[in-house]
Chains A and B, each alone.
Chain A
Amino acid sequence: MKFVAKIFNKRANWAIPYAIFLALFVALPLVLILVYAFQDAEGAFSLDNFRRFVEQPEAVNTFIYSIGIALITTILCILLGYPAAWILSNRKLNRSEITVVLFILPMWINILVRTLATVALFDFAKLPLGEGALIFGMVYNFLPFMIYPIYNTLQKMDHSLIEAAEDLGATPWKVFRKVTVPLSMPGVMSGIMMVFMPTISTFAIAELLTMNNVKLFGTTIQENINNGMWNYGAALSLIMLVIIGITSLFSDGEEQNDSESLI
């Protein structure tokens, strides 16, 4: 007992329980993905899982298609979200803070509930479910995640820079293009991360929005894991991790602060 008390006298040691927890429930599981990915069903080292992925046109097509859908969703979210974020942060155009809350609110509703609502809307409007519904649903689900970080950077921006540009004779369009847009780029990057990453990794949503007609990469991974193909599923997860790693190189890790300062 005395020994334990002595260890905890040093406050840096208080992190030990969590360090053990992290090793067991964060580091080890990720290592297991790597291990499973490079093993065959018998547990011997093999590259078969990756060979299988490359040789199956269906899997590769799903993969490329998912990246395409994620790109379209991200671009649509920027096109729709940037003007909204700009208007929201502009005091002359928007004085009410309630509209800001209204845009953030959907972020806090369960994604499946939101997806069901989209399905309901398409049913109600007698529109067919399918690719159109999928893209609408993705944009509907993730648009707030684009608006919020952009709004945040625009809000924090130093407004004297805009005034300076105006004083020096820049037209409003020029001010927007040369000052506002460059200064808001960190927000746009965070937004891209927060939209692209979840879009590429979702599974259930695509199933529900397309009546199971369109398959995304996340669905393929889930199906393999569910059907007991753990090794192949792990290899596909690893491929997804690599894609996400590449995407996050373009962002500067700010998205955390943006998404979590909401409360």
Chain B
Amino acid sequence: MKRFFAQLYLWLLLALLYAPILIIAIFSFTESKVLGNWTGFSTELYSSLFSGGAQSSLLNAIKNTLSIAVIAAIASTILGTIAAIGIFNMRGRKKQVITFLNDIPMLNPDIITGISLFLLFVSVGISQGYTTVVLSHIAFCTPYVVLNVMPRLQQMNPNIYEAALDLGATPFQALRKIIIPEIRPGMVSGMILAFTLSIDDFAVTLFTKGNEGLETLSTYIYADARKGGLTPELRPLSTIIFVVVLLLLIIINVRAKRNAKRKQAM
């Protein structure tokens, strides 16, 4: 009986959490411009989302979002990994300072990060656009890469690296053959996190995108919603985003579980 009420509570809360998304998903299968007005089943919105035409600005925004996320994720993974190795080998005060600075972008609210970078770009006189957005995304993504790589370095046996050097490997060879294979899982999860954070970002992008018409998905939705009428194609788009995220999370969870089971079996 207790279990029944507990489950009831959970599912009521979930229903509340998912009702908005479900409504969007249901009404993505009808043509009506106004949400809540069912004009019969149709996949028209899905095809017009991908056929471009009048909605090409939306497609452009999606492309920008993805390309910015890919560049930011790769750049911050490289920068963050090298930095983590450096920080790991640092001692004393210097290490404290750099760790503190590394924590700031994670603790700061997005709006503060956005405004501070905006002030940087205007006071240096750089015109804002694609490059400034990418730089800003690298700035708030890299700390998460460092955070993910660091535990792997701590688990690593330091003697292996020394042994490689003693056997005549150059530091670069030792990095490629010894360190990177050991810390790869941390780099991968850092990169995935950086990619997700970049795609998800709204506030920082808004303040650093300048006014030359660069839009990412978030800023496009924002501009669109402010105009009053929401582009109907946003409904199928939100639905697709939701389903993709759902599938990704399920895959990650199933994999984690399988790994755990394999470990137990060993």
> In the complex, A248 Cα to B17 Cα: how many Å?
28
From A56-64, A160-168, A234-242, the one touching the partner chain is A234-242
Interface string of B106-128 (1 = CB under 8 A from A): 11111111011111101100000
Most-contacted residue by chain B among A241, A256, A263 (CB, 10 A): A263
Q: A25-B136, A29-B116, A106-B17 are in contact. Are A84 and B9 (CB under 8 A)?
A: yes
Contact B14–A83 (Cβ < 8 Å): no
Interface string of A131-152 (1 = CB under 8 A from B): 0000000001001100000000
Report the nearest A residue to B250, measured CB to CB: A101
Report the nearest B residue to A97, measured CB to CB: B253
Q: Is B90 an interface residue when CB atoms closer than 8 A count as contact?
A: yes
> In the complex, A74 Cα to B144 Cα: how many Å?
26
From A118-126, A175-183, A184-192, the one touching the partner chain is A118-126
Contact B82–A17 (Cβ < 8 Å): yes
Option from A15, A26, A204 in Cβ contact (under 8 Å) with B86: A15
Contact A221–B89 (Cβ < 8 Å): no
Contact A110–B192 (Cβ < 8 Å): no
Q: A113-B238, A117-B21, A218-B111 are in contact. Are A30 and B104 (CB under 8 A)?
A: yes
Q: Is A227 an interface residue when CB atoms closer than 8 A count as contact?
A: no
Q: Is B54 an interface residue when CB atoms closer than 8 A count as contact?
A: no
B residues near A208, Cβ cutoff 8 Å:
225-226
Interface string of B160-189 (1 = CB under 8 A from A): 000000000001000000000000000001
Contact B109–A116 (Cβ < 8 Å): no
B residues near A112, Cβ cutoff 8 Å:
202, 218, 221-222, 225
Contact B117–A140 (Cβ < 8 Å): no
Q: Is B7 an interface residue when CB atoms closer than 8 A count as contact?
A: yes
Contact B142–A18 (Cβ < 8 Å): yes
B229-266 contacts to A (CB < 8 Å): 230, 234, 238, 241-242, 245-246, 249-250, 252-253, 257
A residues near B156, Cβ cutoff 8 Å:
none
Contact B14–A103 (Cβ < 8 Å): yes
* Interface of B: prevailing SS: helix
Number of contact residues on B: which range applies? 35 or more
Q: Is A88 an interface residue when CB atoms closer than 8 A count as contact?
A: yes
Most-contacted residue by chain A among B9, B91, B138 (CB, 10 A): B9
Contact A26–B19 (Cβ < 8 Å): no
Q: A26-B101, A230-B122 are in contact. Are A14 and B23 (CB under 8 A)?
A: no
B residues near A93, Cβ cutoff 8 Å:
2-3, 6-7
Q: Is A32 an interface residue when CB atoms closer than 8 A count as contact?
A: yes
> How many positions in chain A have a CB within 8 Å of any CB in the partner chain?
84
Q: Is B193 an interface residue when CB atoms closer than 8 A count as contact?
A: yes
Option from A10, A13, A108, A240 in Cβ contact (under 8 Å) with B112: A240
Contact A29–B119 (Cβ < 8 Å): yes
Report the nearest A residue to B91, measured CB to CB: A12
Contact A14–B83 (Cβ < 8 Å): yes
A residues near B115, Cβ cutoff 8 Å:
33, 221, 225, 233-234, 237
> In the complex, A14 Cα to B6 Cα: how many Å?
52
Report the nearest B residue to A256, measured CB to CB: B106
Contact A109–B245 (Cβ < 8 Å): yes
Contact B234–A116 (Cβ < 8 Å): yes
> In the complex, A257 Cα to B207 Cα: how many Å?
27
Contact A108–B249 (Cβ < 8 Å): yes
B residues near A263, Cβ cutoff 8 Å:
189, 192-193, 196, 252
B residues near A28, Cβ cutoff 8 Å:
120
- 20 A-B residue pairings within 8 Å (CB atoms): A15-B86, A21-B139, A22-B98, A29-B120, A32-B119, A32-B120, A33-B112, A33-B115, A106-B21, A108-B245, A109-B21, A111-B200, A120-B23, A124-B23, A140-B20, A204-B202, A222-B206, A237-B111, A237-B115, A260-B147
Q: Show the binding face of B for A, using Cβ within 8 Å.
A: 2-3, 6-7, 9-10, 13-14, 16-21, 23-24, 27, 35-36, 79-80, 82-83, 85-91, 94, 98, 101-113, 115-120, 122-123, 135-136, 138-139, 142, 144, 146-148, 171, 189, 192-193, 196, 199-200, 202-203, 206-207, 217-218, 221-222, 225-226, 230, 234, 238, 241-242, 245-246, 249-250, 252-253, 257
Given contacts A92-B3, A109-B241, A230-B119, 18 further A-B contacts (CB under 8 A): A12-B91, A14-B83, A14-B85, A19-B101, A25-B135, A29-B113, A32-B120, A33-B112, A87-B9, A94-B6, A106-B17, A114-B21, A116-B230, A117-B20, A117-B24, A201-B110, A237-B112, A260-B144
